């Protein structure tokens, strides 16, 4: 049996906009992945701990508050610190195009903005998952 | 009875006969030549829409009972007899970013360009009752609203804005009582009596649990704080709307229009019952209840929603024993749908917003926020927000739709749809009642699941191209145009933190501690907390400190994550 891709969908920080995160979580599940959703108000440390405990292949971060430059980067740095470079990190939300190169440099592999068909996220994960 | 019906029975019969003939001889022939584009036409609430509506569809309505006159029961056609012929809606743009100084500049700019009311957006730490220097505030300062940590920030936010003349709406829920106290204290310090200031606090915690998710305390103490503000409001700050019962966020979280309508009015009735349980007179507090709805893409559905909301509210309030006409009024603010904006071809959002705003006006809104074209990308730039405000001004001054009250009243389709939405709302009321009421339904995740289901379905329809979103799944451009987006002052956070630290040094800390202690005692008992909170903020206790006292006593709410 082929191992299912395990994904952690996470909501860092105080942002309460969870519509996108929930839709993505459900779509990934429907696409045959195993999905863990953190729920709201997670610190970077909590997200990385969950990622470790759940042994996920992918961390998907969702944020609409505008704090992505801090909070996405925090999660990416902490994952690196914990030697979890083989976890694919992706992000989504209200993220201006000009912030994307800096996020990618920090280790967020891809950023999905408003209007992205969920199928694109599924395809991206399947193609780029590192393990 | 018959004579009071919308259409006389004999004419309905004649219409029915003629209608049948028309269907067979004209319509069916026409659709053979020009087949319909879809097998079913549905609105956003999944209601099947027929190809034509006639007097038959509303022949059960009795004009005087079901429709009536504006300013008169059941207020379907409006709460004010002459509506916009007398006074236009308040043009109120939701705004806030960075520090109090930056946001104050934006308010001055908006007022200079013809805005007629203010609306404050707070940043996340403020919404959760944390000061800017709290560890959980990391990265969030000023990002999706202004940071207000103390009365000092409130003073800067309203610098040179005449609080006795302008009304201010504040989108704040968990810590609403504290932020409101800061607004009152600021007015008092300027010598403006509480009785003169007007505005709104959102203060609607139920929809936070349901959709928006910026809650702090568990339901019971949250409801207590809200009833405290009701009571304090009608006795001390009588021109203030002490709640804005909000469907906006329910809709943004992905609900349908019917769910928005049903859940919002359901929440409203829950507040009324809570206040009555305290022993408050319904006619004392009900006139200060206000509402807040979304304006989404389906034009007529939105109009029907506002009209239905007025009629349902009036009926329900009457049933609960309200006597004053004002207690029966469903007054509301509208904001165009943020979730309908596209990051693709952002300029075309101006057109979406125009249609949505027009629906709100045709639905009789009391105040309106029009979204800016760039809001799927970032907070609005000055130019984008000016165009959004101009959109309202064009509707108000140029379109002619303000010339008569409820111009769509009596339209077969609109009246039928209004009735249909009311019917569906009552079905939801029954389902919620069967679960034991609003709070038990929240705890069981009922609303959350209903909304998540609708959100998922909507997204699927878009992804599968059953629902067209211009620029997103049709009529795309190969290269997206870029528009300039708002840049914030990078030193704002540092300045704010320095201000907080200085404040904590310079104020009379003994007094602050004394008053926080008194608040703690009161919170443990059952006194109205508003006077105690007001004392704290007057002594420059910060938002975080005051809220922490309440967190200690009340505890914090945690939700179960459902998707």
Tell whether B144 is within 8 A of chain A (Cβ): yes
Tell whether B450 is within 8 A of chain A (Cβ): no
Taking the C-alpha atoms of residue B404 and residue B417, their distance in angstroms, rounded to an integer, is 21
Tell whether B84 is within 8 A of chain A (Cβ): no
Q: Cα Rg for chain A, rounded, in angstroms?
A: 13
The number of helices, as runs of H, and strands, as runs of E, in chain B is 22, 9
The number of helices, as runs of H, and strands, as runs of E, in chain A is 5, 5
**Structural domains present in chain A:** 6-128 (3.40.50.280)
CA distance A2 to chain B (A): 25
CA angle centred on B143, ends B137 and B146, rounded to 5°: 90
Taking the C-alpha atoms of residue A126 and residue A120, their distance in angstroms, rounded to an integer, is 10
Please tell me whether the peptide bond between B74 and the residue prior to it is cis, using omega within 30 degrees of 0.
yes
Beta-carbon contacts of B323 under 8 Å, excluding residues fewer than 6 positions away, are B283
The backbone torsions φ and ψ at residue B261, rounded to the nearest 5 degrees and listed phi first, read -65, -50
Q: What is the mean pLDDT of residues A104-108?
A: 97
Contact yes or no for A113 and B343 at CB 8 A: yes
Q: How confident is the model at residue A1 (pLDDT cuts 50, 70, 90)?
A: low
CA distance A74 to chain B (A): 10
Percent of chain A with pLDDT over 90: 95
Per-residue model confidence (pLDDT) at position B5: 62
Contact yes or no for B212 and A37 at CB 8 A: no
Question: Which residues of chain B are within 8 Å of residue A43 when distances are taken between CB atoms?
Answer: 136
Helical packing angle, B543-554 and B509-524, nearest 10°:
30
CATH of B68-463 among 3.90.550.10, 3.20.20.240, 2.120.10.30, 3.40.50.170? 3.20.20.240
Taking the C-alpha atoms of residue A15 and residue A70, their distance in angstroms, rounded to an integer, is 13
B475-492: b (≥16 Cβ within 10 Å) or e: eeeeeeeeeebbebeeeb
Contact yes or no for A16 and B212 at CB 8 A: yes
- Between B143, B344, B377, which is nearest A67 by CB? B143
Taking the C-alpha atoms of residue A74 and residue A96, their distance in angstroms, rounded to an integer, is 18
Q: What is the mean pLDDT of residues A78-107?
A: 96
Taking the C-alpha atoms of residue B101 and residue B245, their distance in angstroms, rounded to an integer, is 29
Short-list B122, B103, B307, B142, CA closest to B202: B122
Question: Which residues of chain A are within 8 Å of residue B485 when distances are taken between CB atoms?
Answer: 96, 98
Tell whether B455 is within 8 A of chain A (Cβ): yes
Task: Name the DSSP letter for residue A88.
Answer: E
Taking the C-alpha atoms of residue B370 and residue B348, their distance in angstroms, rounded to an integer, is 14
Question: Which residues of chain A are within 8 Å of residue B463 when distances are taken between CB atoms?
Answer: 117-119
| CA nearest to B486 within chain A | A96
Mutation test of the interface with chain B: which of A115, A119, A120, A122, choosing the one with the most B Cβ atoms within 10 A?
Answer: A115
Short-list B539, B538, B520, CA closest to B529: B520
Question: What are the mean pLDDT values of chain B's consecutive 10-residue runs (563 residues total)?
Answer: 58 94 97 95 95 95 95 98 98 96 97 97 98 95 96 98 97 98 98 98 98 96 98 98 98 98 98 98 98 98 98 98 98 98 96 98 98 94 97 98 98 98 98 98 96 96 95 94 86 94 98 98 98 98 98 95 80
Taking the C-alpha atoms of residue B202 and residue B223, their distance in angstroms, rounded to an integer, is 13
Whole-model pTM: value is 0.96
Segments making up each domain of chain B, as ranges: 2-65, 68-463
CA distance B181 to chain A (A): 24
Question: Which residues of chain A are within 8 Å of residue B456 when distances are taken between CB atoms?
Answer: 22-23, 26-27
Where is B220: in which H helix or E strand? helix B219-236
Per-residue model confidence (pLDDT) at position B220: 97
Per-residue model confidence (pLDDT) at position B4: 53
Taking the C-alpha atoms of residue B219 and residue A92, their distance in angstroms, rounded to an integer, is 31
Taking the C-alpha atoms of residue B315 and residue B187, their distance in angstroms, rounded to an integer, is 37
Question: Which residues of chain B are within 8 Å of residue A67 when distances are taken between CB atoms?
Answer: 124, 138-140, 143
Q: What is the mean pLDDT of residues A87-99?
A: 95
**Can you tell me whether residue B113 is helix, strand or coil?**
coil
Contact yes or no for A25 and B214 at CB 8 A: no
Tell whether B254 is within 8 A of chain A (Cβ): yes
**Can you tell me whether residue B541 is helix, strand or coil?**
coil
**Can you tell me whether residue B491 is helix, strand or coil?**
coil
- How is B340-404 classified by DSSP, letter by letter? G--SSSGGGHHHHHHHHHHHHHHTT-SEEE---TTTTTSSPPHHHHHHHHHHHHHHHHTS-TTSS
Tell whether B419 is within 8 A of chain A (Cβ): no
Taking the C-alpha atoms of residue A68 and residue A28, their distance in angstroms, rounded to an integer, is 22
Query: What tokens appear for B52 in the block?
Result: 């034509």
Taking the C-alpha atoms of residue B378 and residue B509, their distance in angstroms, rounded to an integer, is 39
Per-residue model confidence (pLDDT) at position B1: 41
| CA nearest to A17 within chain B | B212
The predicted complex's ipTM stands at 0.92
Residue B321 Rama label (left phi>0; alpha psi -120 to 50; beta): left
Mutation test of the interface with chain A: which of B122, B127, B137, B140, choosing the one with the most A Cβ atoms within 10 A?
Answer: B140
Short-list A108, A112, A97, CA closest to A44: A108
Beta-carbon contacts of B262 under 8 Å, excluding residues fewer than 6 positions away, are B424, B425, B427, B428, B429
CA distance B231 to chain A (A): 29
Per-residue model confidence (pLDDT) at position B83: 97
Query: What tokens appear for A2 in the block?
Result: 């082929």
Give the residue carrying structure tokens 């992505």: A68
């Amino acid at each position: 049996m082929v191992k299912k891709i395990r994904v952690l969908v996470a909501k860092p920080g105080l942002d309460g906009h969870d519509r996108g995160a929930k839709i993505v979580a459900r779509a990934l599940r429907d696409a045959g992945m195993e999905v863990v959703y953190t729920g709201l108000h997670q610190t970077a440390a909590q997200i990385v701990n969950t990622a470790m405990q759940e042994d996920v292949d992918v961390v998907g971060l969702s944020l609409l508050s505008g704090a992505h430059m801090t909070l996405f980067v925090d999660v990416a740095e902490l994952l690196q610190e914990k030697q979890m470079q083989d976890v694919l990190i992706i992000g989504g939300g209200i993220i201006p195009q000009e912030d994307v190169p800096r996020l990618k440099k920090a280790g967020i592999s891809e950023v999905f903005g408003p209007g992205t068909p969920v199928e694109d996220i599924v395809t991206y994960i399947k193609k780029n998952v590192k393990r | 009875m018959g004579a009071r019906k919308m259409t006389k029975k004999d004419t309905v019969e004649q219409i029915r006969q003629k209608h049948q003939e028309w269907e067979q001889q004209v319509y069916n022939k026409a659709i053979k030549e020009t087949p319909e584009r879809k097998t079913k036409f549905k609105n956003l609430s999944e209601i099947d829409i027929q190809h034509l509506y006639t007097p038959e569809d509303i022949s059960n309505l009795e004009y005087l009972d079901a429709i009536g006159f504006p300013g008169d029961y059941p207020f379907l056609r409006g709460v004010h007899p002459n509506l916009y012929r007398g006074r236009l809606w308040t043009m109120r743009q939701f705004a806030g970013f960075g520090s109090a100084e930056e946001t104050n500049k934006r308010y001055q700019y908006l007022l200079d360009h013809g805005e007629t009311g203010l609306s404050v957006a707070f940043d996340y730490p403020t919404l959760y009752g944390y000061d800017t220097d709290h560890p959980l505030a990391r990265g969030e300062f000023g990002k999706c609203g202004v940071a207000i940590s103390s009365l000092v920030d409130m003073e800067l936010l309203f610098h040179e804005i005449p609080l006795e003349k302008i009304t201010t709406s504040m989108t704040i829920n968990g810590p609403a009582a504290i932020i409101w106290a800061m607004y009152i204290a600021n007015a008092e310090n300027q010598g403006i009596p509480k009785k003169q200031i007007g505005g709104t606090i959102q203060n609607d915690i139920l929809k936070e649990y349901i959709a928006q998710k910026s809650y702090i305390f568990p339901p019971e103490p949250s409801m207590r704080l809200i009833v405290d503000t009701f009571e304090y409001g009608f006795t001390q700050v009588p021109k203030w709307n002490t709640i804005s019962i909000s469907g906006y966020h329910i809709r943004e979280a992905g609900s349908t229009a019917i769910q928005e309508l049903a859940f919002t009015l359901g929440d409203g009735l829950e507040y009324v019952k809570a206040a009555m349980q305290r022993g408050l007179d319904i006619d004392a507090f009900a006139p200060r209840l206000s509402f807040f709805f979304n304006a989404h893409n389906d034009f007529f559905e939105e109009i029907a929603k506002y009209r239905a909301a007025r009629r349902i509210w009036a009926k329900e309030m009457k049933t609960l024993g309200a006597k004053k006409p004002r207690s029966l009024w469903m007054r509301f603010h509208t904001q165009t749908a943020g979730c309908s904006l596209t990051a693709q071809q952002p300029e075309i959002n101006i057109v979406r917003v125009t249609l949505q705003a027009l629906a709100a006006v045709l639905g009789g809104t009391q105040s309106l926020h029009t979204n800016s074209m760039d809001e799927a990308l970032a907070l609005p730039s000055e130019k984008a927000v000016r165009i959004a405000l101009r959109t309202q001004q064009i509707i108000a001054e140029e379109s002619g739709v303000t010339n008569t009250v409820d111009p769509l009243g009596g339209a077969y389709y609109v009246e039928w749809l209004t009735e249909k939405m009311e019917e569906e709302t009552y079905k939801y009321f029954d389902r919620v009642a069967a679960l034991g009421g609003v709070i038990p339904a929240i705890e069981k995740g009922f609303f959350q699941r209903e909304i998540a289901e609708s959100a998922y379905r909507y997204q699927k329809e878009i992804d599968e191209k059953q629902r067209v979103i211009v620029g997103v799944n049709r009529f795309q451009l190969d290269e997206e145009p870029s528009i300039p987006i708002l840049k914030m002052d990078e030193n704002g956070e540092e300045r704010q933190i320095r201000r907080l630290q200085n404040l904590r040094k310079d104020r009379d800390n003994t007094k602050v501690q004394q008053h926080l202690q008194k608040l703690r005692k009161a919170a443990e008992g059952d006194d109205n907390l508003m006077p105690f909170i007001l004392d704290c903020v007057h002594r420059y206790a910060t938002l975080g400190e005051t809220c922490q006292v309440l967190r200690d006593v009340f505890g914090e709410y945690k939700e179960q994550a459902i998707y």
